[in-house]
Structure 1
């Protein structure tokens, strides 16, 4: 049977990353964020009260929602009007997330298959609870005996979020207008110095989705997951300063690490998904197997 202490820690991680769905979360008090009649996010009440001060952009609607004004009837108008408000709200010290302004545009839509209704500054997305998408790459090797090892990155101590924690080989947010494949190759090249020809061998294998809340907003995220088998002779190198080092670890050690506070939480879920898909976690040996699988695929 599985190590019960390890299993309990993984369950705690999954609950933490999906706490928006748990009893007592802020979900019951959130207002829907609607654009053009469709819900695209969730807004906490104190954030809604700030937004609706800008009556030429945001308006409260019946049934517990905040929507954009009817005059904002195009992608460009919505994006620019909301960005102007957010630029002013950056001066509000209570909105800590806006201190991390990145000048990165994320697309806003109800489903990934929908056309975006606007773009939004990445740092502000949690204020609106809009779905954020990213790309994560599991880099691994297989030796002559068939033993699997995985490359892990150690994030730079100067990273804005989760400094110094273990991470996937490469990962990045999906910026507005950028394809998944382009983002994959870009992040592999920039973060791990993986040549384009090798990065393009990565296989799309899964998505990992979760939603969590903190005191300021709702983080609804979905990661497109790729597996990249690397030649044993290849060593990734830190490229753009976001990573301080890389480690090639046996899969059993990787499994132990994902249950520790030393791992970036959402990246730990991506590794957990790898462990399930490659049968390093089996239903006959792991009593919480179903909970693990369902916790990795929570679609809002």
Structure 2
């Protein structure tokens, strides 16, 4: 793939994953989702209209914001009330995303450093545009000659999202009550059969953040990124069935695949971050180097 074509494909990926910031997005028409006067998400108009009948949970929109009722003044009260609303919406099939109900609790907060104000079913987070966090692990090896190879996973065809596409070696969402390190170890063990002692050698290296919109809602996500250098003799194995196969590929092949439709988009961003940090993409050789870097770190 010619370099200019590759660059254009990567720029398109970054624009798509950050389209909520672009002119013409739904952002101007969205309501801020606020709790105690603090914005914790964005709600599209068609979602807000469905919530209007739950007057015991949501106040009437005011000043461009939709808030929970004042009597819902604790983590547990808010979580319970929201759970009832979402269960009702799930039963009447109002939103397609709720068909992917996972029984996974995601904490809701303005910033990761803030105490959570409630929890919400993972499948519903895009309806409220709340920040979702995850952990992604780049697994790689270095040959005796110094060449770098990366382990990539092929997602199962039964996955609810992006079935069959390439993924990072291991990755998963950060559920309420789980630490980042616990999530890392869990996903490494479950998805790639990596022993805990080896998984714990992974180094935290970066975060990748982006916000995009689609017909499901607003996806505001931030991934905690780890690098894990694996022994040459080690091979990840399919564990819980979320992955169908693993591939060990030369870094140039990985870079080439980055600009294809074969990659899960946010995982492609995590790999792009790896290529930049390890100097496989350099500013003297890539004129859009700054655009790449800024596109990986859009925090809303």
Which TM-score band applies after superposition, normalised by the shorter structure?
over 0.9
User: What is the CA-CA distance between 1:53 and the residue it aligns to?
Assistant: 1.1
Is 2:23 aligned against 1:29?
no
| C-alpha deviation, 1:91, in angstroms | 2.5
Deviation at 1:278, TM superposition (A): 0.2
SS of structure 1 residue aligned to 2:175: coil
Partner of 1:242: 242
In 1, the alpha carbon distance for the partners of 2:194 and 2:141 equals 14
The equivalent of 1:227 in structure 2 is 227
Can you give the 5+ residue segments of structure 2 that lack an aligned partner in the other structure? none
User: For residues 182 and 245 of structure 2, what CA distance do their matches in structure 1 show?
Assistant: 24
Give the SS at the match of 2:73: coil
Corresponding residue of 1:101: 101
CA shift at 1:37, angstroms? 1.2
2:145 corresponds to which residue?
145
Whole-angstrom distance in 1 between the partners of 2:93 and 2:172: 27
Identify which range, 86-95 or 209-218, moves more after superposition.
Answer: 86-95
Distance 1:210 1:161 in 2: 18
Q: CA separation in 1, counterparts of 2:236 and 2:162? A: 21
Kindly provide the CA deviation profile for residues 20-68 of structure 1, in whole angstroms up to 9, marking residues without a partner as x.
0000000000000001111000000110111121000011242111000
CA distance in 2, matches of 1:80, 1:98: 17
Look up the match of 2:89.
89
Aligned partners of 2:107 and 2:40: how far apart in 1? Answer: 11
Counterparts in 2 of 1:73-84, with a 5 A limit? 73-84=73-84
Alignment of 1:187-226 (within 5 A): 187-226=187-226
SS of corresponding position for 2:158: coil
Does residue 62 (structure 1) correspond to residue 62 (structure 2)? The answer is yes
Equivalence for 2:116: 116
Q: Distance in 1 between matches of 2:220 and 2:229?
A: 29
- Give the Cα separation in 2 of the matches to 1:214 and 1:255: 27
CA distance in 2 between counterparts of 1:85 and 1:107 reads 17
Aligned CA-pair RMSD: 0.8
- 8 Å CA contact 1:34–1:67 kept in 2: the answer is yes
> What is the alpha-carbon distance in structure 2 between the residues aligned to residue 94 and residue 59 of structure 1?
20
CA distance in 2, matches of 1:60, 1:171: 39
Match of 1:9 in 2: 9
1:279 is aligned to 2:265: no
Taking structure 2 as the reference length, the TM-score comes to 0.99
Kindly provide the CA deviation profile for residues 70-98 of structure 1, in whole angstroms up to 9, marking residues without a partner as x: 01010000000001000000123341000
The two structures have a TM-score, normalised by structure 1, of 0.99
Any idea what SS the aligned residue of 1:114 has?
A: coil
1:93-150 per-position Cα deviation (integer Å, ceiling 9, x unaligned): 3410000000000000000000000000000000000000000000000011110000
Tell me the SS of whatever aligns to 1:33: strand
1:117-196 → structure 2 map (5 Å cutoff) = 117-196=117-196
Structure 1 residue 215 displacement after superposition: 1.8
CA distance in 2, matches of 1:191, 1:53: 41
Does the aligned pair in 2 maintain the 1:44–1:216 contact within 8 Å?
Answer: no
Secondary structure, in 3 states, of the residue corresponding to 1:39? strand
Please name the residue that 2:290 is paired with: 290
